């Protein structure tokens, strides 16, 4: 994970610590085993199912369609939960649940590279 991004909705920064899982290993690992003191969000593109096995903290899951429109939000998921494949989900955003986010179903998200 090299580049850090901001999540933008309606020209407002909603969250500013997101990485994109780019390699097979990053996609496989997700946020598993990530220590509590290094929390960040992770966007997994072309992914319609995940699990929260071995998570050290609760996360929120934002399910996105092909146009990055929010179609489902699952809040405060604990370790060892499963999100099974769903045909409308194309991308999944994992974010720590210890913060308040202004993300709602129907919002379209944009990613802004932080330089």
pLDDT digit string, tens, across residues 21-37: 989 888 888 877 777 76
What's the token pair of residue 71? 């179609």
Q: What pLDDT score was predicted for residue 56?
A: 84
At residue 34, the pLDDT reads: 77
pTM over 0.85: yes
- Weakly modelled stretches of the chain, pLDDT under 70: 1, 37-38
Quick one: tokens of 23? 């390699």
d(CA 11, CA 27): 28
According to the model, what pLDDT value does residue 69 have? 98
For the stretch 22-39, what's the b/e string if a residue is b when 16 or more beta carbons lie within 10 angstroms of its beta carbon? eeeeebeebbeebeeeeb
- Side by side, the strands of the sheet bearing 41-44 are 70-77, 59-64, 91-96, 41-44, 12-20, 4-9, 110-113
Look at residue 33 in the predicted model and tell me its pLDDT.
76
Domains of the chain, start order = 4-113 (2.60.120.1140)
């Amino acid at each position: 994970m090299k580049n850090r991004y901001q999540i933008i909705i309606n020209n407002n920064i909603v969250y500013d610590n997101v990485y994109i899982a780019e390699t097979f290993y990053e996609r496989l690992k997700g946020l598993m085993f990530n220590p509590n003191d290094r929390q960040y969000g992770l966007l997994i593109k072309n992914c319609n199912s995940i699990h929260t096995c071995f998570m050290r903290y609760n996360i929120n899951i934002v399910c996105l369609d092909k146009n990055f429109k929010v179609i489902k939000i699952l809040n405060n998921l604990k370790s060892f939960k499963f999100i099974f494949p769903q045909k409308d989900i194309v991308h999944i955003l994992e974010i720590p649940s210890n913060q308040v986010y202004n993300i709602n179903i129907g919002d379209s998200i944009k990613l802004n590279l932080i330089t």
